[in-house]
Chains A and B, each alone.
Chain A
Amino acid sequence: MSMSHRVSDAALTKRLNALEGKAREAQKTIDDLKSRDALKTQFLSNISHDLRTPLAAIITHAEILRDGMLGELNQKQRDSVSGIVNGGQQLLDMIDEILSYVRSASDQVTLLPTEFSMADLVDQVKLLNQPLAAKKHITIERLNGDDLPLVFADRDKIKHVLANLIGNAIKFTNNGGRAWISFSRRGRDEEELLVEIGDTGRGIARAHYDLIFREFAQVDASPSRQHHGTGLGLAIARRFVELHNGRIWVESELKKGSRFFFTLPLNVPRA
């Protein structure tokens, strides 16, 4: 009896040592992957920042030409140079999105909460999107929200979320469609603000509801896809909402439209 105990003790010790060895190896792999991930993040951050500078110069030079500061251009020349400005601007927006993603992905991301009116912020973002909406004859409407309490959150980050959702609503809605923003309060003590951004656009299949919030994911990732982008916008939006202890999701019907929702707690203690 005592003999078999000794044998089994020895076997257990051996097994324990083997497991500890494996755990050490696994930890080493985790540390290694973490440091590689940090390197990749740093690389993305540096390269995005460095791409901005020459691009800024290209856009400025093209604007100088377009605005006739070095001599009047004819219509065809002006159209062509406007193409450089617009293309550069689009590229710049994509670089900025990558930068936002990199910053949101780093561990040091912190919230700088202040008190502000959501309705005012929505109106600001609406105004920024007005030129594109007007071009597509899409109406953007804020349906309510004048009587909401002030929220205590990181204004820049919530603005980013709204800009992404409202921008998408316009991007994926055909000419003459509608987009809207509305608010409601949820919870037993109405302690949660629910923000809805809806559109009458092309819609999203149920199978893609989760996919669209993942990094680098696009419903149509083929080279011939109609809409190009980094595939980071909604992943950043999700991260920013979750940093505020909120949730974000979509409800949609193909060819009818989409309704994106996100929540923000209203009972946040003021610092």
Chain B
Amino acid sequence: MPARILIVEDSPLVTDAFSILLRESGYDVDVAGTIAEAVEVAKARPADLMLLDISLPDGDGLDLLDQLREQNSLPRATLAMTGHGDSRTRQKCLDAGCAEVFLKPVGISELLRRIEHHLA
């Protein structure tokens, strides 16, 4: 069974690119564009790892972690993706429980390496 990755990101341009990348790398991929959608998808098909854009149309992506924790569908690792590289944003993500924080765009070889590391 391939590991399942949930991509939470509101831009279809970006989710398309990541879906191709991750499916080609052998992962099972789910996509959600909002926090509400991610809560539903994670409930129906719990993921092993989540790629999370922290600014989503219906709120702060980091709030999703609490909601998933409550319904017991928090993935083993969450990798946050942000457009802001400042240390305050980085710390906020780590405090919320993200395993790592990436500045967009994430280099694909680095991303695949880190995903593999967290799923090992």
Are A and B physically bound partners? yes
Any B CB within 8 A of the CB of A268: no
User: Which chain B positions have C-beta within 8 A of A56?
Assistant: 14, 17, 104-105
Contacts of A67 in B (CB 8 A): 108-109
List residues of A whose CB falls within 8 A of some B CB.
Answer: 49, 52-57, 59-61, 63-64, 67, 69-70, 92, 112, 155-156
22 sampled A-B residue pairs with Cβ under 8 A: A53-B11, A53-B83, A53-B104, A54-B13, A55-B105, A56-B14, A56-B104, A56-B105, A57-B11, A57-B13, A57-B17, A57-B105, A60-B14, A60-B17, A60-B105, A61-B20, A64-B20, A64-B21, A64-B108, A67-B108, A69-B20, A156-B86
B2 within 8 A of A: no
B106 surroundings in chain A (CB, below 8 A): 60
- By the criterion CB–CB under 8 Å, are A155 and B87 in contact? yes
- Please report the number of residue pairs spanning A and B whose Cβ atoms sit closer than 8 angstroms: 54
DSSP majority for the A interface? Answer: helix
Residues on A with C-beta less than 8 A from B25 are: 69
Q: Which residues of B contact A61 (CB under 8 A)?
A: 17, 20
| A63 in contact with B108 (CB, 8 Å) | yes
Contacting residues of chain B (60-109) with chain A, CB-CB under 8 angstroms: 83, 85-88, 104-109
Chain A residue with the shortest CB-CB distance to B109: A67
B16 sits at the interface (CB 8 A): yes
How far is the CB of B111 from the nearest CB of chain A, in Å?
Answer: 9
A156 to B86, CA, bound (A): 7
A193 → chain B closest CB, angstroms? 21
| B residues less than 8 Å from A64 (CB atoms) | 17, 20-21, 24, 108
> Given the complex of chains A and B, what is the CA–CA distance between A112 and B87 in angstroms?
9
CB distance from A142 to the nearest CB of B (A): 23
Given contacts A69-B21, A69-B25, contact A59 B105 (CB under 8 A): yes
Closest to B81 in A: A56
Q: Is the CB of B21 within 8 A of A53?
A: no
**Besides A56-B105, A92-B105, 9 new A-B residue pairs in contact (Cβ under 8 A), listed by A number:** A56-B14, A57-B13, A57-B16, A60-B17, A64-B20, A64-B24, A64-B108, A69-B20, A112-B88
Task: Tell me the bound Cα distance from A53 to B14 in angstroms.
Answer: 7
Chain A nearest CB from B90 CB (Å) reads: 10
A77 to B53, CA, bound (A): 32
* CA of A49 to CA of B53, assembled, Å: 14
Bound CA–CA A113/B110 (angstroms): 30
Contacts of A54 in B (CB 8 A): 11, 13
Q: Smallest distance from the beta carbon of A64 to chain B beta carbons, Å?
A: 5
